[in-house]
Structure 1
Amino acid sequence: MTIPSLQRSTFAARTFAALRYRNYRLWFFGQMVSLFGSWMQTTAQGFLVFQLTGSPAYLGYVGFAAGVPAWALTLYGGVVADRVPRRTLLIVTQIAQMALAFILAGLVFSGIVQPWHIIVLSLLLGVANAFDAPARLAFVRELVDKEDLTNGIALNATMFNLATTTGPAMAGVMYNLVGPAWCFMLNGISFLAVIGALWRMRIASGPVAPRNASAWRDLREGLSYILHEPVVRTLIVLVGATSCFGISFATLFPAWAVRILGGDATTTGLLQSARGLGALMGALLIASLGRFQFKGRLLTVGTFAFPLLLILMTFTNRLWLTLAILVASGLAVILIMNLANALVQTLTPDALRGRVMAVYSMVFFGMMPVGALWVGVVAERVGEPAAVISGALAVLGVAGAIFVAVPQIRALR
């Protein structure tokens, strides 16, 4: 006979296994506060841009500016992440992002903000992210044991999407009540939580690339590993396609809220929050499965479900139904991103993780601006629904090609 309380205890222990580690707890709660602020800024900034310009294409320009540095600097950021303590690098990048949030708040408070200001600040934020992302992705392995890596990554997604669920909704309300500047100011303050958490950690020294090797040689070593590992290579291609042609639809949320749903800034926040709620549910689902052995099959389900749900969304202009579909699509996309991330890190040697995750980051974050640019331009010319359908069909095509050509993905455990 199984005792119910013991069952619940075992379920909780499996779902939140990574929180047993002190350093991971500090990271989890510090990042959650910071991400709440970041999503407030993302939502408020998007609606502010749309208010200033009235153009979905300009939304794409801002997204493109934020992602351009990913192409130029992320690979070098991965080399740096393998050469210096990742905690130190993260503290520097978080301080830089905090300063940019305060600058944007000051511009809006003073009443002098212009669209080009937002583009420049987005570009600088992209520079900080180019160094932050490889270190942040590889850092999880320093916080938990290898067998709990998938759980740690799932809980990372949980905190990210808990912030996505609440931050945008709060931003929409605050935008209408007190204006966007306070959203940016609170984001700046929120960075103190993660900076403090990083400062308090006790991190053992990890493997680092030898400093007598050139950065280019280090980079080639990481690229060579990816090129000669077909499963890792395929997973990174899948992430890039999903980022460019699938996730990019969120760029259109301000325009979708106004033109398709007849709403305002609050509606934009609800759209972001619905997607975040679904992703939160997906992350908790993965975390609750513990050390499960069917990651490849679950990943495959996500690759087909996500684009089909995006296509379905274009056939309704009812808010409640759109929100329901966004919840489901958020769950599906987290199956792709979470499991691809965990599998790539599991398959990659420790000494190469920073560089491999730099390529992963460059593809993930670098394809976002490309996606933002093309989806904004296409929406300007043929409408938002047609743009979303085009992207969804592209993701569906990639999923089908991988299903046929790389059956090893489905066998991953």
Structure 2
Amino acid sequence: MSTGPGATSAPGPNTPDSPAAVTATAQSAKSSTFSSLRIRNYRLFASGAIVSNTGTWMSRITQDWLVLSLTGSSAAVGITTALQFLPMLLFGLYGGVIADRYPKRRMLFFTQGALGLCGLALAVLTLSGEVQVGHVYLIAFLLGMVTVVDNPTRQTFVSEMVGPDQVRNAVSLNSANFHSARLIGPAVAGVLISTVGSGWAFLINGLAFLAPITGLLLMRTGELHKVERVPRGKGQLREGLHYVASRPELIWPIVLIGFVGTFGFNFPIWLTAFADEVYHAGAGTYGFLNTLMAVGSVAGALLTARRGSVRLRILVGAALLFGVLEIAAALSPSYWLFALLMIPTGMAALTVNTTANASIQMATDPAMRGRVMSLFMMVFVGGTPLGAPIVGWITDTFGARIGFAFGGLISLLAAATVGLVLARVGGLRLSVGWHHGHPRVRFVPREEKRERELATVA
């Protein structure tokens, strides 16, 4: 059974530096950074997404600040985040089964419309002055329920629009799209909160979902790449889990992204706490810090889009760097150093996310992709209900710096552990030496290291 687009045989052990570590190689090396945008259906998808993503970022920033204003608690922000992602933890695999079973374009009409209605409901409550933290909790949970189906459907619909040769490029451009909106959304949200109030940001977010719905309507269905839908049957969840568990190139990236997502991606908690408690600033500063992270994220996404291959060593290295940068930001003595560190932190975070996403999609059979991606998102996003309250409590109890450093330390340890496991699975050893007068640390096959040792003795 093929492991996915571009694969020619069943997968073997995958490691950071071996040829097998190339989870998949884009078959069109000649692809440019924006090659997927040559495809009309994907252009429509991306155009609608930039509008809705901008509204989503406005809503996220506004929601976090609204909860902090209503409660004065970083833990409450963590609870809101946890409620939004709890459905993914509880029901994420079922969303993948639905994505594999039903036409994805048709499902996206319903999910995108439902997300827009949630935004409009929160706008009405806020503009009327009746909003309470319980309302925000409820709508966050409803958003999470819709996302259970929307996320794997949207992720796997990409391959139907662009075909297997462009999956890596399209996944990277999706990330660039999402984080480009982050350059605009937080800044606009900060202005709206300070001038006319939070309700208007929620209203704009609700209306923004008309853009992706319009894009879906204008698509040429005859140009979509046909994917066989999975018929209704028993044991499909177990089949998906067994499929992932038997493939190291799938299970270990998912394990890594689970730890990083659960403990390292709690930026709403940390950045609100730093803006409010450490730097004694307002919503504008919170929006500005998010915008700086977005600058790095966009740069990371565009760099990833240019790569001709997806390697697990890039994933492990980016996760290591991400942990180090979070710890460095937590310990930074000044506001401007903290702010500047948000740029490379955003770049590393985006590289982790995009590399894991693309490598898993490209190593998975099309008929299994919905279930595999739902497991990926369940672990990545669904871990937040477990991590966010813990990180929120640590941040409230010991301060923003300790909370941020804790998340970075967990990410660092997880990356180091998974990297060593992948090296062991692939028969690699750590090699420390000198190259042209400079120290070099890399993984090499055990046989190569043994040969060099024997040569040295001889």
**TM-score, length-normalised on structure 2?**
0.84
What displacement does 1:320 show?
Answer: 2.3
What displacement does 1:12 show?
Answer: 11
Q: Deviations over 1:113-141 (max 9, x none)?
A: 00011000100000001111111111111
**Contact 2:316–2:418 (Cα < 8 Å) also in 1:** no
Q: How does 1:388-399 map to 2 (within 5 A)?
A: 388-399=404-415
The one-letter amino acid of 2:375's match is V
> How far apart, in 2, do the equivalents of 1:275 and 1:352 lie?
33
**Contact 1:209–1:218 (Cα < 8 Å) also in 2:** no
1:386 paired residue number = 402
**Contact 2:300–2:350 (Cα < 8 Å) also in 1:** yes
**Contact 2:115–2:143 (Cα < 8 Å) also in 1:** yes
> How far apart, in 1, do the equivalents of 2:340 and 2:302 lie?
18
2:245 paired residue number = 227
The one-letter amino acid of 1:399's match is A
1:21 paired residue number = 39
> How far apart, in 2, do the equivalents of 1:317 and 1:61 lie?
29
What displacement does 1:202 show?
Answer: 2.4
What displacement does 1:271 show?
Answer: 1.3
Q: Give unpaired runs (5+ residues) of structure 2.
A: 1-28, 429-442, 444-458
What displacement does 1:251 show?
Answer: 2.4
1:95 paired residue number = 113
CA spacing shift, 1:350–1:373, aligned 2, 3 Å: same
Q: Deviations over 1:100-125 (max 9, x none)?
A: 10010000111010001100010000
**Contact 1:245–1:371 (Cα < 8 Å) also in 2:** yes
1:130 to 145, 148, 151: 148
> How far apart, in 2, do the equivalents of 1:110 and 1:168 lie?
23
Q: Deviations over 1:48-67 (max 9, x none)?
A: 11111101110111111111
**TM-score, length-normalised on structure 1?**
0.93
1:199 to 214, 217, 223: 217
> How far apart, in 1, do the equivalents of 2:421 and 2:376 lie?
21
Q: Are 2:310 and 1:280 aligned?
A: no
Q: Deviations over 1:252-280 (max 9, x none)?
A: 32221011122100011011111111111
> How far apart, in 1, do the equivalents of 2:364 and 2:306 lie?
24
Q: How does 1:3-402 map to 2 (within 5 A)?
A: 14-203=32-221, 204=224, 205-211=226-232, 213-214=233-234, 217-289=235-307, 291-292=308-309, 295-402=311-418
Q: SS where residue 366 of structure 1 aligns?
A: coil
Q: Deviations over 1:179-225 (max 9, x none)?
A: 100000000111000111112222344211112x13xx111111110
The one-letter amino acid of 1:353's match is R
> How far apart, in 1, do the equivalents of 2:130 and 2:136 lie?
11
> How far apart, in 1, do the equivalents of 2:327 and 2:270 lie?
15
> How far apart, in 1, do the equivalents of 2:316 and 2:159 lie?
25
1:8 paired residue number = none
**Contact 2:271–2:289 (Cα < 8 Å) also in 1:** yes
The one-letter amino acid of 1:58's match is A
Q: Which piece of structure 1 moves more, 67-76 or 48-57? A: 67-76
> How far apart, in 2, do the equivalents of 1:108 and 1:200 lie?
33
Q: Which piece of structure 1 moves more, 198-207 or 110-119? A: 198-207
**Contact 1:249–1:375 (Cα < 8 Å) also in 2:** no
Q: SS where residue 311 of structure 1 aligns?
A: helix
Q: Deviations over 1:350-371 (max 9, x none)?
A: 0000111110111111012222
> How far apart, in 1, do the equivalents of 2:325 and 2:230 lie?
43
What is the aligned-residue RMSD (CA, Å)? Answer: 1.8
Q: Deviations over 1:27-65 (max 9, x none)?
A: 111001000000000001111111111011101111111
Q: Deviations over 1:294-329 (max 9, x none)?
A: 633322220111010000111225332222111101
What displacement does 1:154 show?
Answer: 0.5
Q: Are 2:421 and 1:405 aligned?
A: yes
The one-letter amino acid of 2:352's match is I
> How far apart, in 2, do the equivalents of 1:405 and 1:241 lie?
15
Instruction: Count residues in correspondence.
Output: 397
More strand by share: 2
Q: Give unpaired runs (5+ residues) of structure 1.
A: 1-10
Q: Deviations over 1:333-354 (max 9, x none)?
A: 1111101111101110000001
1:3 paired residue number = none
Q: Which piece of structure 1 moves more, 136-145 or 315-324? A: 315-324
